[in-house]
Chains A and B, each alone.
Chain A
């Protein structure tokens, strides 16, 4: 049974998820964040961080969805997936811990 305040809180998170592309739309033409860049020039050399793994939704995007609209939609989908996963994983940890207590 979900309590009223949990519902209200989840509604706020839902609204934030829908608004989440605001950040990427505002930075659309500014490139990636410093400290999160792909390739940079240092003096005369180009440095690129090594990458070891590939995530299913890199940078909250669906591969191939490159326009601003599709990127925003994939950002919202990513937010829904991420939010539900966080909720479920924390509930899972808490239930495991509760079982260990008994």
Chain B
């Protein structure tokens, strides 16, 4: 889902950075006021986890690949603002040291994977728990899995729209329009990355909730 350099026109890149600045600012403010020192190693570990799971690229029939992100998982355990920090750090290291995701597209990639994804996942998780009217370990695991599945697809859709609009607004950048970009991105994420994200997120949430509920910041 990482958008490389050269896909997004300059206007899109700048706009995405401008959108992300207040998000990062608020995440830092949140960390200053709300992140407990007990949660810090957990966040560092989950950020590392996010980095490593993004290295697993799964093949799909037409030669497409996709990967899970782990943003919903961090949002469920420590809250969506913690996920903004954890995933942004992983994306930044990927962009600067490994060329995975462009540096000019870092704002857009952070918007999709470190902002849209964890918030979509978090809101979906809360809504589902309310709907199930239960918060035992089974309800939490199902809610976490469904939320992760939906969130990664919402983020993939956001990425597809960002580069899919380029043919209309910036010549010389991504040549594929929305009609190609959206189905290709959604197909890969609905069939592969989505189910992987659902199973991993549900499993980790169930494990932590069962054995160490005290480590979960969001009750």
Contact = CB atoms under 8 A, between A and B. Distances in A.
A16 interface: yes
Contacts of A94: 31, 35, 37, 40, 43-44
Contacts of A17: 52
A97 B30 CA distance: 10
Interface string A1-45: 011011001101100110110111011001111111000101001
Interface string A45-83: 101111111111111100000000000000100110111
3 residue pairs, one from A and one from B, having the closest CB atoms: A49-B6, A55-B99, A33-B65
Contact of A58 (B93, B99, B173): B99
Given A36-B4, A83-B51, 11 more contacts: A2-B41, A6-B42, A30-B63, A35-B163, A50-B6, A51-B4, A52-B102, A82-B51, A86-B51, A91-B44, A97-B31
Contacts of A56: 97
Interface stretch (B82-90, B130-138, B143-151): B82-90
B15 interface: no
B175 interface: yes
B129 interface: no
Interface of A: 2-3, 5-6, 9-10, 12-13, 16-17, 19-20, 22-24, 26-27, 30-36, 40, 42, 45, 47-60, 75, 78-79, 81-91, 93-94, 97-98, 100-101
B59 A35 contact: no
A33 B173 CA distance: 17
Interface residues of B, number: 65
Nearest to B176: A42
Contacts of B159: 35
A24 B41 CA distance: 30
A27 B215 CA distance: 37
B163 A5 contact: no
A12 B208 CA distance: 14
27 contacts: A3-B41, A5-B215, A16-B49, A22-B56, A27-B58, A30-B63, A35-B163, A36-B65, A42-B175, A42-B176, A48-B6, A52-B104, A53-B103, A55-B96, A58-B98, A58-B99, A59-B100, A60-B100, A75-B55, A78-B98, A82-B97, A85-B93, A86-B50, A87-B45, A90-B43, A91-B40, A93-B89
B7 interface: yes
B55 A34 contact: no
Given A27-B57, A83-B51, A35 B97 contact: no
Interface string B183-207: 0110010000000000000000000
A38 to B, nearest CB: 9
